[in-house]
Amino acid sequence: MADEQTQELQFAAAQMQILPNGDSHFPKEDTDPADETGKKKKKKKKKGKPGAVGNKDGRKCRVALTFTAQSDKPTRPRLEYNLFIFLHSLSAKVQTDPPSIPICELYTNGVYAKGQECEYPPTQDGRTAAWRMTNEEKKCLDQANEELWSDFRQAAEAHRQVRKYVMSWIKPGMTMIEICEKLEDCSRKLIKENGLNAGLAFPTGCSLNHCAAHYTPNAGDPTVLQYDDVCKIDFGTHINGRIIDCAFTVTFNPKYDKLLEAVKDATNTGIKCAGIDVRLCDIGESIQEVMESYEVELDGKTYQVKPIRNLNGHSIGQYRIHAGKTVPIVKGGEATRMEEGEVYAIETFGSTGKGMVHDDMECSHYMKNFEVGHVPIRLPRAKHLLNVVNENFGTLAFCRRWLDRLGETKYLMALKNLCDLGIIDPYPPLCDTKGCYTAQFEHTILLRPTCKEVVSRGDDY
């Protein structure tokens, strides 16, 4: 009997796409745990003794097998179901609550969960791109970059777990500093921060209401999250400079639901349209059409949801959050095409205001210019600050709070000097008209040779 159970388990496992980290996906055929004969009449089932499956660490996972009364053997669909449920414990630890175990220690075999894999959209002449998923050359190219994709997936899993944690406690009455520091502390643990090899990709954006982007509190900021606020949570993680740029919007008052629905739908439209050889301007036109089809009623007045035309998605490079190409969210952009192997942040912003943003409020975000060469620096404090930036952030964005955390003091004059020299660029908050509300949703996508992977996709959005 034991041999038969083992054979059945091996058979079921072979029919499934079982990832070494314990994730598994059912084959395309029907896997409903019903009688294999297809008869409508249900047969009584009885449970047999559970079988044991071990992992690399020698730990055992009890897999409850279900047997039919007639054959006393486990049915294949039920075996697949049992494997799907229990294989997660074979090679992965269980995350704590609150999360504290680094992602690399949860997936001890180094194989991380994939994001949402999508077939590329058809070409303009109507030809399907399904051939890419089965073409041997493309599959080999995809496999050759597996280490690269793995870095993105590890960073994406950290992002998913952090944002799930954030949604469990964020509430009105918390200060913005408290929210950001609690989020960043968790993110540092899960990504296992290690200098420039792993860490936070940019400061936590928590822009409120008419402020659409690039706001994070500086030290002493007394701002408190309110019930009627619309808060954009935009944070990033990275492994070896492979950046996950992903954002969502938090509200507590249901009157904003349509605004969030519009922006989420627009972002998903942009993701659906994106692909190899797709023109960036075509994506923007599709996004605008979807977003402007929504209206939101606030305090008795109806507003059309407008895309913020001077905010865009963008390509992502190694240690470079904006790598050169922009993905517009309105029609009329460049006809530049997306290319195989590129990585993009597809993000959209919707507004009840004018749909245009401008610099406003105190600056908190800064980033070293990626292309800057050697520039003579006279101020000793500026030289010191640049060394601190190079050692801790490189060309990734940072904020004043992070300099405070490193023990830096009285650095504002040195920071201004580096900005004046063009070595560091300031990124002040971007705001629409006061009194309006803005929302944002964003995902990172990989344009792999075989398919498009929405690597930051989760159960939440």
State yes or no: 238 annotated in a binding site: no
Is 299 catalytic? The answer is no
Tokens encoding 201: 């990709």
Query: Are the beta carbons of 221 and 192 closer than 8 angstroms?
Result: no
Return the DSSP state at 74: B
> Does residue 452 contact residue 275 with C-beta atoms inside 8 Å?
yes
CA angle 142, 147, 153 (to 5 degrees): 95
In angstroms, the CA 184 to CA 191 distance is 10
Catalytic annotation, pick one of 245, 265, 408, 432? 245
Q: Which of 35, 322, 340, 384 is catalytic?
A: 322
Determine whether the annotation assigns residue 25 to a binding site.
no
Judge whether 443 is annotated as a binding position. Answer: no
Rounded distance between C-alpha atoms, residue 262 and residue 130, angstroms? 29
Q: Is 23 labelled as part of a ligand binding site? A: no
Of 8, 184, 347, 453, the active-site residue reads 347
Q: Cite the DSSP H helix spans in 16-171.
A: 76-86, 88-91, 103-106, 136-144, 146-169
Q: Which residue is catalytic, options 159, 238, 314, 365? A: 314
- Give, to the nearest 10 degrees, the angle between helix 412-420 and helix 380-392: 80
Q: Which of 265, 442, 443, 453 is flagged as catalytic?
A: 442
234 is catalytic: yes
- Pick from 376, 434, 10: nearest CA to 209: 434
Q: Is 347 a known active-site residue?
A: yes
Q: Is 322 labeled as catalytic in the residue annotation?
A: yes
Helices (H) and strands (E) in the chain, counts: 12, 24
**Distance between CA atoms of residues 290 and 211, nearest Å:** 22
- Kindly name the residue from 23, 234, 282, 432 that is annotated as catalytic: 234
Q: Is the distance from CB of 447 to CB of 340 less than 8 angstroms? A: yes
Decide if 365 contacts 397 (C-beta within 8 A).
Answer: yes
Q: Which residues are annotated as a binding site?
A: 214, 234, 245, 314, 322, 347, 442
Active site residues: 234, 245, 314, 322, 347, 442
Q: Which residues are annotated as a binding site for substrate?
A: 214, 322
Q: Which residues are annotated as a binding site for a divalent metal cation?
A: 234, 245, 314, 347, 442
